[in-house]
Structure formats: structure tokens, C-alpha cells
Copies of this chain bind each other. A is one copy, B any other.
Amino acid sequence: MANEKETTRVEAFSDGVFAIAITLLVLEIKVPKSEEHMNNGQLFTSLIDLWPSYFAFLLSFIAVLIMWINHHGFFKYLKTINSKFLYANGFLLLMVTFIPFPTAVLAEYINSSAANISSAFYCGTMVLISIAYNILWFTAGYKRALVRDEISDSLIIKIRNAYWFGFFVYLASFIISFFHAISGLLICISLWIFWVLLDYSKMGIKPQTGNPHKHL
């Protein structure tokens, strides 16, 4: 199970799951029901009142997009995959497909007296996703099991530390949500900036340098 085609197929399957999960998010936004004769003003108000749904949609869209970009960068470090990696990746996909649910809960309750639990539920999902990424990197980077030869040991440690850092920040956002929902969410969002900066393409690996297939 250690050839290029294999890796490509797992990547394609994961991409499919990411693409579907990100597109299903919109189903969470419910059309305001026209119980009686609604006029323009009332529809306008109804659409504005849906702001928690738009907010949750935007939040999760960006989260899944960043996860996809990182997942993508991840695979560029691998020379091969094994069964352990396959199951670790499966756990990550499990959490990714789950995202529409905490998103819908957040949309429904962030502007209510149950805001804390909805925020904690959302941030808690992110904690689990963060654990999934840590496990995934562990299966790839531990004893250099699956990483390409040109990846330096220091880079492996750098990435590991970045994922651990992410875990602790998500954990903090989860705990803080119980006391102040919006603060918890803001910490959760702040991490996105971190993930964007973690962009693999900037982490010092020049793919295929000195490679005969230079332009592929």
C-alpha cells in the first residue's frame, strides 16, 4: 500500500469529503417561513435576524477551507502512506464531516441564553480536530516513518510543535467558552491566522529541487 497511486487516491477521497462537508454547511441556514402575508420589510428583518446563521456558516467555511489547505500541504511532505496513517486520516475525516452539526448548533444558540454551551460545543469539536491532526502528524513524522528524505528533522519538530500549540489554544477556547462565549469563539478564530501562517509552502521545503521533473 506504499505507492504513489495509493497516496493520490487517499488524497482525492479526502478532498471529496472536504468539498462535500464545506458545501453542506449552507443547508444549516433555514429560509424564514412565510406563515402569513409577509411584506418586504418583514422579510428584510427576517433575513437580518439570521445573522447567527451567516456567522456560523462563514466561521465553519473558513475553518474547513484552512483545514483543507493544511491537509493538502501535509501530503506534500509524505513519501508514502501506511495503514496507521489511513486510520488516522479516517479519524480526521470523521471530525470534518461532523462540523456541519456543531455549526448548526452554534447558529441556533449563539444569540441565546445557551450561548456558552453552543460555543463550547463548537470549540470542543475543534479540540478533537486538533487532536486528529496531532495523531496524523505523529503517524507520519515519528521516526520519520512516512516523510520525504528532504524534510529536515528540525522541520518535523517545528510542525509537531505547531500542532501542539494549536491543541492548547483550542483547549483554552473550549474552557473559556463556559465563562464567556464570545471570547472563546474569538480565541478559536484567532488560531486561523496561525494556521494560515503555518502554510506549508512557506516552511522552507523546496519541493522537487534538482528533480528531473522540474516543471511537474
Contact = CB atoms under 8 A, between A and B. Distances in A.
Give the number of copies in the complex.
Answer: 4
Given A101-B31, A109-B38, A116-B40, A61 B215 contact: no
Nearest to A4: B216
A216 B213 CA distance: 11
A186 interface: no
A83 B104 CA distance: 30
Interface residues on A, range: 35 or more
A117 B40 contact: yes
Interface of A: 1, 3-5, 9, 11-13, 15-27, 29, 31-32, 34, 37-40, 42-44, 47, 57-58, 61-62, 65, 68-69, 72, 83, 86, 90, 93-94, 97-101, 104-105, 108-109, 112-118, 121, 199, 201-202, 207-208, 215-216
